Every structure is written in structure tokens, then in C-alpha cells.
């Protein structure tokens, strides 16, 4: 992977995590500004739009990463099993995020709320797994 690819990947992961956590904070932890408002915060719509914009870009870059980085490492006998497992965990969580993100638009309350929680938990775990995979790679 080139340095530009790594920088873009980290930038998009951090942007998706930041906008997702900010969206969850605004939606579930803040009181509505107005009794008739659909949003709990004036920036909530913008943050959600940013998240919906950044997440497909991240998916595209992670797809390229699977082709350029993961496939080569998976087929190499010198790659350590723990690194392959952590990469497979990141990939599995990515699939959960993609599916739950698409399904949130299809279902309303109460199923939609459950899917939103699954999406949020999977997103948090994805961030931790991605960081763990990157740190494991640096350790050798």
C-alpha cells in the first residue's frame, strides 16, 4: 500500500467514525431543541449527510484495500495467522456495517431502531478492530 492509500484510508475511517459517533450522540443523548423539531441538534442533518457521504467512499477504498493488500497477505505463507484473523474480523465487521447501513433505510420503528443499534455497535467494534489490526501489523 502506498502512503497516499494509507492516509486516505485512515482519513476516511476516522471521518466515518467521528460522524457516526456524533450522529449517535445527537440522536440519542440530546434533548430536542424544539418540541416540533425532527432533529435534536441544528447540525444533526449535516452530520448525517456527511456520514452518508463518507461511508460509501470508505467502502470503496476498503474494497481496493482488499484487492491490493489483503488478498496478497492472505495467500502468502509468511503472513502470521493472528494478522490474517484480525483482517478477517475487520472485513466481517465491514460487511455488517454495509448491510445494516442499507437496511436502516428499509425498516421503520421498531426494527429500524434495532438495526441502528447493530450498526452503531458494529461501527464501534470496526474502529477498534481496524486500530488493532494496524497496531498488530506494526508490531511484526
Digit-coded pLDDT (tens) for 48-103: 999 999 999 999 999 888 888 777 776 776 666 666 788 889 889 999 999 999 99
Please tell me the distance from the alpha carbon of residue 50 to that of residue 45, in angstroms, as a whole number: 9
Q: Which CATH architecture has domain 3-139?
A: Up-down Bundle (1.20)
| Cα–Cα nearest to 82, from 126, 124, 135 | 135
Please tell me the distance from the alpha carbon of residue 19 to that of residue 25, in angstroms, as a whole number: 10
Which helix (H) or strand (E) segment holds residue 64: the answer is helix 44-65
pLDDT of residue 136: 77
Phi/psi at 33 (nearest 5 deg)? -70, -35
Mention every residue, 6+ apart, whose C-beta is less than 8 A from residue 57. Answer: 12
Q: Which residue has the higher pLDDT, 137 or 100?
A: 100
pLDDT of residue 54: 97
The answer to whether residues 20 and 120 touch, using CB atoms and an 8 Å cutoff, is yes
Please tell me the distance from the alpha carbon of residue 87 to that of residue 66, in angstroms, as a whole number: 9
Tell me if the pTM is above 0.85.
Answer: no
Give the confidence band of 140 by pLDDT, cuts at 50, 70, 90.
low
Pick the range with the lowest mean pLDDT from 7-16, 77-86, 96-105, 116-125. 77-86
Amino acid at each position: 500500500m502506498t502512503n497516499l492509500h494509507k492516509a486516505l484510508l485512515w482519513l476516511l475511517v476516522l471521518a466515518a467514525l467521528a460522524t457516526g459517533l456524533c450522529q449517535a450522540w445527537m440522536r440519542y443523548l440530546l434533548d430536542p431543541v424544539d418540541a416540533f423539531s425532527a432533529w435534536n441538534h441544528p447540525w444533526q442533518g449535516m452530520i448525517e449527510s456527511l456520514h452518508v457521504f463518507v461511508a460509501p467512499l470508505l467502502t470503496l477504498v476498503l474494497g481496493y484495500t482488499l484487492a491490493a493488500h489483503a488478498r496478497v497477505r492472505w495467500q502468502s505463507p509468511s503472513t502470521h495467522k493472528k494478522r490474517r484473523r484480525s483482517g478477517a474480523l475487520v472485513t466481517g465487521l465491514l460487511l455488517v456495517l454495509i448491510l445494516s447501513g442499507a437496511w436502516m433505510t428499509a425498516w421503520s420503528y421498531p426494527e429500524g431502531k434495532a438495526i441502528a443499534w447493530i450498526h452503531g455497535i458494529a461501527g464501534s467494534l470496526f474502529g477498534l478492530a481496524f486500530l488493532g489490526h494496524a497496531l498488530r501489523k506494526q508490531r511484526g
